[in-house]
Amino acid sequence: MSARILFVDDEPSILAGFRRLFGSDYQVDTAPGGVEGLACLAGSGPCSIVLSDMRMPGMSGIEFLARVREVSPESVRMVLTGEADFTPALRALNDGTIFRLLFKPCAEKTLRTAIEAAQRQYELQRAERTLLDETLRTTVTVLADVLSLVDPETFGRSMRIRRYVRHIASTLELHQDAWQFDVAAMLSQIGCVTLPPGLLESITAGETLSESDRARYLMHATVALDLLVRVPRLQNVARMICRQHDGPPTSLDDDVIALGAQMLKISLAFDQSLSSGLNVEAALNALRADPRQYSPRLVTALAGLDRDSSSRESRTIPVGHLHPGMIVDEDVRTQAGRLLVGRGQEITVPMVVRLDGFRQAGVIGASVRVLVPHSHT
């Protein structure tokens, strides 16, 4: 599909000229001003290239392109000016608001060369973004898989929290930042690998901790921050994890870090209540009883989780027939009592390989009880 370009100019004849010059090679949208240009982006989605006149009534080209940078950061922005004083345009060029500055009158060849350069820049940015996304996704998956093998108990807790956080985000339709909440949940307990043996089991069992053990446990969030904050695009995720034990949030509006941290806090408290023996409704009531610590809106969003669980049934499946997506419905331990997979964990490929190896060695049974959708065959 050809690139999409938005031309913005208050002169109808100039917009008609753009359509005539580029309409056969690109998808061309036009707008007579900045307000209309933003409406076009909001209605039709991002453009590869946005080219705007400098001087327009109401909103200047620089002001318009600064707004475009916020709402459509991948769009390559250029300005066309006939102003004698082009200092503001040069400033915008230097600070990255625009990619290129063109002057009126602009020859067709010059304009076409600039459009082609902008398109190459757009494709380069998209390729780099795709590479970064794939690298990030692979990095997070590897970290989670390693955690599942090194510390099954911690990984199991992370996966349960991930399920609660996913449900809250889905219920509230928090689609834009869903990936950050999901990764924060997956890695929320990664700092627990530094805890001494038995401490996390004591916490999960609801045992009263000494002051030193509690302080040691709470440090896991800071450990996670130190591990993750240097990873590109995980800065918000790292700060959500670091704040998962914080006190009551001042506001969740327009603060994605506070929102993510509160989702983790609620999920942790909910999981702790379930692990201590409370049923789902009692665990939710415990959260509702303290609205200053746990956002009532998020607790209400979590309340439908039990209905989601009812869509699955428990079955005993041979280890060799396990596959990703199934939920383990019992602790899987070796004959010596070593925990391999905790109840509530979602099956992953490395987990299947590991369990099959233990099965072949004769240290676990041939089957595992898992939760599967009712329609699963």
DSSP secondary structure of 156-168: HHHHHHHHHHHHH
Is 100 domain-assigned? yes
pLDDT for residue 168 is more than 90: yes
Domain that includes residue 293, residue range: 151-308
- Choosing from 308, 328, 358, the residue where a domain stops is 308
Same-domain status, 277 and 364: no
Count of the separate structural domains present in the chain: 3
Count Cβ atoms within 10 A of the Cβ of residue 18 and give its class: 0-12 exposed, 13-18 middle, 19 or more buried.
buried
Percentage of residues of the chain with pLDDT beyond 70 = 93
pLDDT of residue 311: 60
Residue whose pair of structure tokens reads 């909103």 in the numeric block: 59
- Choosing from 308, 328, 353, the residue where a domain stops is 308
Average of per-residue pLDDT across 319-336: 87
Is 140 domain-assigned? no
pLDDT of residue 84: 59
pLDDT of residue 377: 43
* Model pLDDT for residues 253-282, shown as the tens digit of each residue: 778 999 999 999 999 999 988 878 888 899
CA distance 52 to 111: 13
Same-domain status, 328 and 342: yes
Is 108 domain-assigned? yes
255 in Cβ contact with 180 (< 8 Å): no
pLDDT of residue 100: 86
Question: Which pair of structure tokens corresponds to residue 221?
Answer: 């969030």
Is 86 domain-assigned? yes
Is 38 domain-assigned? yes
Same-domain status, 297 and 323: no
CATH (domain of 319): 3.90.105
CATH (domain of 55): 3.40.50.2300
Same-domain status, 199 and 331: no
Same-domain status, 289 and 316: no
Same-domain status, 9 and 43: yes
CATH (domain of 198): 1.10.3210.10
Instruction: Kindly give, in sequence order, each residue whose CB lies less than 8 Å from that of residue 106, ignoring residues fewer than 6 positions away.
Output: 80
Residue whose pair of structure tokens reads 């200047």 in the numeric block: 60
Instruction: Kindly give, in sequence order, each residue whose CB lies less than 8 Å from that of residue 234, ignoring residues fewer than 6 positions away.
Output: 136, 183, 228
Same-domain status, 106 and 92: yes
Is 138 domain-assigned? no
Same-domain status, 78 and 28: yes
Please give the order of strands across the beta sheet that includes 4-8.
27-31, 4-8, 49-53, 76-81, 100-103
Same-domain status, 360 and 287: no
Same-domain status, 277 and 340: no
Is 146 domain-assigned? no
Same-domain status, 188 and 222: yes
Is 80 domain-assigned? yes
Average of per-residue pLDDT across 91-97: 71
Same-domain status, 293 and 160: yes
* Model pLDDT for residues 209-225, shown as the tens digit of each residue: 888 888 888 899 999 99
pLDDT of residue 86: 64
Distances (CA, A) of 291 to 169, 196, 253, 281: 19, 33, 16, 16
- Choosing from 264, 293, 308, the residue where a domain stops is 308
pLDDT of residue 376: 44
